[in-house]
Structure 1
Amino acid sequence: MNEIDMNETARVRRLLGEPPPPSAEASARALARLEEAMAPGGRHVRPSRAGRRRFGRPLQLGAGLVAAGAAAAVAIVATGQGSPGSPPGPPPGSVDLNKQAVLVAADRAAEQPTGNYWSAERISGQAYVVRAKTGTYAIFGAHSETFHWAGARKGMGEAYYDRDLPARPQTPRDEALWRRAGSPSSIRVWSGDAYHTYTTKATKWRVNGPNVGVDPKGGGSFYGLGSGGASLGDLQNLPTDPAELAGILSPAEMKRAMNPKASGGKKLKEGVIPRLQMRRTSTLLSAPVSSKVRSGLIKALAAQPGIRAIGRVTDPLGRRGVALATPDWAITETGEFGTPKAQQGTYRSRNVIVFDERTGALLALEDQLTEPGGPYAEMKPGFVISYEADRSPRWTDAKPKPPAELPF
């Protein structure tokens, strides 16, 4: 790093020490929720309980952020990445302060002391547009929360829990329109290939894992880089050099993650690779990797072609952070599977990953609208299509329990 870059980095560190108030745009997004289905080729698939993701469990990276339902739920056509209206990057030779902020966050990645049990909690939601007679508003439905704990060594036990969270309007404006519509406690929306009803009530935690309960023989295995689990040692002994970690984000690795039996010569559709790279990074940052590996992963992702730093944002739980984004791409929903006319059309979206700017911790992964159209024709750029938000992944010495209180 040259002297100019070092000076700029020092400037960013000072800025991060006393962050300015959020912009009006960031504040408007504070209640917006994140991430959508990103199955290969841009297929938009319906969330289902069976497909909901669990921490610590194997995951095929072709799955959507909000878990997938039937593969043929909706016909979607991906038409490439990059939008003519996308903001340009910094001029050649200049310092990208947004990227520097991400790198500073990586340097501040929290030291995670190893304990007896690792636990992780994740909240996810899918956006739906409700076209009421009194005004169109957006909600988050298919709202769910997962909690997983595992002992550091085999035989210490593990368990998986999930519960449904209340459907809720996305923003204060949406809430006002929901109230104008009579504050319905049950909301019927088109989801995938059929109408579904989401309610404003939560459910109790369900034990949902090995042997349909707490597995006393489990533990010692966490989500790794293959189709099976990895030991704590495997994860914490990953390389720390960002250049080496970039190897696990390579196009070849992303392709194998989607389909381990795929031949080496077939190319993925344009725009898929950055989304899969972001997904893999998110998955590993939710696992008990060392702080140096955590820092290296953030830096490796920030260096990938097509990944761009976008500055400070507010995550769906109201936490401020610095973010990276993929290029956007077009998705077209057709009427092939009975999709209503109002849901049909083309829109563009991008994935955004958010880090705590003071600790480097992963906060959220979202899918964000960049060009309105189709089911989101009435929404504005920045609208959150779906999301996953992490809450307090950590080591403890006592056996963890899922939180009793609701997150909102």
Structure 2
Amino acid sequence: MNEIDMNETARVRRLLGEPPPPSAEASARALARLEEAMAPGGRRVRPSRAGRRRFGRPLQLGAGLVAAGAAAAVAIVATGQGSPGSAPGTPPASVDLGRQAVLVAADKAAEQPTGNYWSAERLSGQAYVVRARTGTYAIFGAHDETFFWAGAKKGMGEAYYSRDLPARPQTPQDQALWRKAGSPSDIRVWSNDHFYTYSTKATKWRSEGPEVGVDPEGGGEFLDKSVEELRNLPTDPARLAAMFLEGEMERAGGLDPNSKRPRAEALRMSPAQTATLKIMRVSALLGTPLPPKVRAGLMKALAAQPGIHAIGHVTDPLGRRGVALAAGDRDVTVTAEYGTPKDEQGTYRARQTIVFDERTGALLSRQYVLTRPGGPYARMKPGFVIEYQAVRAAGWTDAKPKPPAELPF
């Protein structure tokens, strides 16, 4: 058997095999807070300068993915809907072509070049429903963009920037209804436990790092590891899963896996909740300057996790089409607690999704998507994006990067 045939055989084995389920201790007390914070209406809080200065620290729960304070806005009831596994020794009816497409994308990621500087540009947005007299439409608010670059070696520098993006209608239909409502430049919505007004105007880039904007001594440390240590990370998906999706995931949730606390004190997570946290964890890790083969290994590790499903091709909030993995969907119930208006109350279903570029293996987005309308999204359709973080651009270059002057839309 030649090397190509061996690689293809290995891919098929990855599709047919099913890794063991996570241990009971994989439950993390902070996941409940995380899920609540991702509920509709959460207003993001930008990480502190200290939080942005090192890639590892703000990434523990997803690099700014969580809308802060939403737990005070609504009462959440989440029910996991994990997919039951087949009986041992039972062959699958067919090869999962969606999962195969993700594995091929991972192989593409392993081929990407490196350079002297890493940079990443990310967009974040939260959905809000505007119930105007002239018609209901949806917008993205709490809209912001971040950009950072760092040299591969100590002394090459690093810098961090952010800017507010305009609140805007989500689709052409939403835009038409926004115009019918008079094209308001300030849009008032229910956010958290109060009404909040979002502007349709952007701000300029502002430094989120050192006062001078660039730290000349920066660079050379990512995830609290040197470049050499990053290069020595394993590329094997199973070893990466053990490092970042098991014990490391527990530490991300604030629970020490080496603790001697009784099991009863650990918060049990459903398969769908566990899968959700793993998607968010991998999305955060892929936003850092990991070596290409490590990135590929993480993608394959995620694709092999219990409760993670390949869902084929998906379009992200920037209109880019890619191949996607998703967690199981869950019921989310919004109650009248903290004064939530009646129109915002009710139950809907949604799931966490991660999307990759099929040609390069690059991370395109992580998005929280409606699967069954209800509650605040009763008039929306399945596929409606409730919250997202999209990577507009990321990668290595030999020239020192600069924040883009033009707006993304």
Where does 1:284-295 land on structure 2 (aligned, <5 Å)?
Answer: 284-295=285-296
Mapped contact 1:42–1:331 kept (Cα < 8 A): no
Deviates more, 1:128-137 or 1:269-278: 269-278
Range with greater deviation from structure 2 (377-386 or 395-404): 395-404
Aligned partner of 1:56: which letter? F
Residue 371 of structure 1, CA deviation:
1.4
Decide whether aligned partners of structure 1 residues 63 and 332 sit closer, same or farther in structure 2, where only a CA change above 3 A counts: farther
**Cα deviation 1:247-286 (Å, max 9, x = unaligned):** 1344433221110557463144323211111112112212
| Partners of 1:282 and 1:63 in 2: CA distance | 7
1:66–1:125 CA contact under 8 A, matched in 2? no
> Which of 244, 251, 254 in structure 2 is aligned with 1:256?
251
Counterpart of 1:104 in structure 2 is 104
AA at the equivalent of 1:205 = W
Q: Name 1:150's counterpart in structure 2.
A: 150
The answer for the alignment partner of 1:56 in structure 2 is 55
Percentage identity across aligned positions? 60
Residue 400 of structure 1 corresponds to 401
Q: Which residue of 1 aligns with 2:20?
A: none
Kindly state the Cα deviation for residue 148 of structure 1 after the two structures are TM-superposed.
Answer: 0.5
* Corresponding residue for residue 356 of structure 2: 355
Q: Distance in 2 between matches of 1:349 and 1:392?
A: 27
1:169-208 → structure 2 map (5 Å cutoff): 169-208=169-208
Equivalent runs, 1:166-315 vs 2, <5 Å = 166-211=166-211, 213-222=213-222, 224=223, 229-261=224-256, 263=259, 265=263, 266-270=266-270, 271-315=272-316
Q: C-alpha deviations, 1:335-383, integer Å up to 9, x for none?
A: 2211111111221110110001011111110000011112111111110
* Residue pair 1:345, 1:373 contacting (<8 A) in 2 also: yes
Sort the Cα spacing of 1:172 and 1:337 in 2 relative to 1 into closer, same or farther, 3 A: same
Q: Look up the match of 1:140.
A: 140
**Aligned equivalents of 2:273 and 2:221: distance in 1?**
29
The amino acid of 1:302's aligned partner reads: A
> Are 1:74 and 2:34 matched, yes or no?
no
Residues 49 and 352 of structure 1: CA distance in aligned 2, closer, same or farther (over 3 Å): same
Q: How many Å separate the matches in 2 of 1:279 and 1:48? A: 16
Offset at residue 136 of structure 1 (A)? 0.4
Q: Is the 8 A contact 2:61 2:280 kept in 1?
A: no
Matches for 1:377-392 after TM superposition, within 5 Å: 377-392=378-393
One-letter amino acid of the structure 2 residue matched with residue 98 of structure 1: G
Please give the per-residue CA displacement for 1:302-339, whole angstroms capped at 9, x wherever unaligned.
00000000001111112111000001112222222111
**What CA RMSD, in Å, does the superposition of the two structures yield over aligned residues?**
3.0
Whole-Å separation in 1 of the counterparts to 2:338 and 2:62: 20
**In structure 2, distance between residues paired with 1:259 and 1:71:** 19
The answer to whether the 8 A contact 2:365-2:388 is kept is: yes
* In 2: Cα distance, 1:395 partner to 1:209 partner: 20
2:34 is aligned with 1:40: yes
Give secondary structure in 2 for the equivalent of 1:79.
coil
Counterpart in the other structure of 1:316: 317
C-alpha separation between the residues in 2 aligned to 1:155 and 1:268? 45
Tell me the amino acid that sits aligned with residue 34 of structure 2: P
Cα distance in 1 for partners of 2:385, 2:347 equals: 16
- Rounded to whole Å, the distance in 1 between the matches of 2:212 and 2:126 is 26
Q: 1:175 to 1:369 in 2, by over 3 A?
A: same
Match of 2:328 in 1: 327
SS in 1 for 2:98: helix
In the alignment, what sits opposite 1:162?
162
Structure 1: gaps of 5 or more residues: 11-36
- Cα distance in 2 for residues equivalent to 1:64 and 1:272: 18
- Provide the C-alpha distance between the structure 2 equivalents of 1:324 and 1:38, rounded to a whole number of angstroms: 22
1 CA distance for matches of 2:197 and 2:63? 21
Gaps in structure 2 of 5+ consecutive residues: 13-30
TM-score scaled by structure 2?
Answer: 0.83
Note if contact 2:47-2:58 (Cα within 8 Å) is conserved in structure 1: no
